Amino acid sequence: MSALLKRRFFEQIKIMFGREPSKPKEISPAAQEIHFYKKGNRDLIAEKRHARAHAQPKNTWRNRRWITLICANLLFSLSFGLDIQILEGALTASRFVGFHLIDLNSALQVMLAHKHIINNLLIGTGTVLVLWVLLGGRTFCSWVCPYHFVAEWAEKIHLFLARKKLVTDQTMDRRLRTVFWAIFALLALATGYTVYESISPTGILSRALIYGPGLALLWVLALLVFEVFFSRRAWCRYACPIGLTYGVVGIISPVRIVYKLDGCFHEGDCRKVCLVPHVLDTVIKGRAIETEVPIGPDCTRCGLCVDACPTGSLSFEVKGLSKLA
């Protein structure tokens, strides 16, 4: 990894905690050459239009993700309903064929509430920790979390209403997520109660799917209504501490999305579909510091940008191995 990419790596960690992306101060000679070629090159405008006009609609990664998410949550329901004991419990704490699996953020909340390290929780989080370090922490958000799935559909409604000029998207300060993470941690420490777990839409939906609906679903509905009519994907972007916890876990993940500068026409379709568009600041014209730049740890690896890119300038890769089809 070059010195420029190392500096960008630490910059992306700061961005994950709420810092706004900024124009790079240094750009490698190879990247500068490509930027210079693109600057004011009118042929690129024609190439951009051609690429967008002939791009085939793709939902490859979205479909893979939806199938994985549905199957993972359905397995909980089937295991309970049929009493086959394959995957018992819920997303917050479960057991897969005898192996204990405990959500990292839930385990942290419990240990803060009890004010000591609980050995059984450490054992249960071990497997989960290794899994999400390998896959990229926020992969949990887009590939497993049931709230992400329903919020994605709420987002489609929001965008439809926005096109009709019936709603406008109200953005908020992304540092709020870090503030909420600290507030929920302090509440657990001060009260001895896992406050966040009682309002977590992830846990509420997971339990509702397995054990049946309850009044807590009204809270989830309220969040979705807020996101449809006021602020697109507000919970995931500005409040959910799970996303921040798993983002930290996935900082060194070998699975990432990589951006290639030379083929990009900077048409911006990727940023339009991205849940966390701040991670794609490098695709803005003149921002890439190298010819190939890995996307930061706050990326959910949802694959929407990969599907949306008409030139294949964004792709899944395993560090040190190869591109994923």
163/155 Cα distance (integer angstroms): 12
Chain mean position to CA 152: 12
What whole-number distance in Å separates Cα of residue 146 and Cα of residue 205?
6
CA atoms of 101 and 124, how far apart (whole Å):
5
Burial environment of residue 299 by CB neighbours within 10 A (0 to 12, 13 to 18, 19 or more): buried
- H/E element, 44: helix 42-54
Q: Residue 245: which residues within 8 A CB-CB, separation 6 or more? A: 104, 105, 108, 137, 181
Q: What is the pLDDT of residue 254?
A: 94
Please state, in angstroms and rounded to a whole number, the distance separating the CA atoms of residues 26 and 34: 14
Euclidean distance between CA atoms 182 and 73, whole angstroms: 29
- For 295, the enclosing helix (H) or strand (E) is none
Q: How far apart are CA 289 and CA 281, in angstroms?
A: 11
Q: Model pTM?
A: 0.91
Residue 120's pLDDT is 74
CA distance 110 to 128: 16
Are residues 75 and 187 in contact, defined by beta-carbon separation less than 8 angstroms? no
How many residues in the chain?
Answer: 325
pLDDT by position in tens, the chain (length 325): 688 888 888 999 999 999 999 899 899 999 998 888 887 666 666 666 666 666 667 899 999 999 999 999 999 999 998 888 888 899 988 888 877 888 999 999 999 998 888 777 788 888 889 999 999 989 999 999 999 999 999 999 999 999 999 999 899 999 999 999 999 999 999 999 999 999 999 999 999 999 999 999 999 999 999 999 999 999 999 999 999 999 999 999 999 999 999 988 888 889 999 999 999 999 998 999 999 999 999 999 999 999 999 888 999 999 877 666 5
d(CA 281, CA 103): 30
For the chain, give me the number of helices (H) and strands (E)? Answer: 16, 6
Could you give the CA distance from residue 135 to residue 158 in angstroms, rounded to a whole number? 30
For residue 311, the model assigns a pLDDT of 86
CA 270/CA 52 separation, integer angstroms = 12
pLDDT at residue 171, as a whole number: 92
Nearest Cα neighbor of 243 from 122, 104, 110 is 104
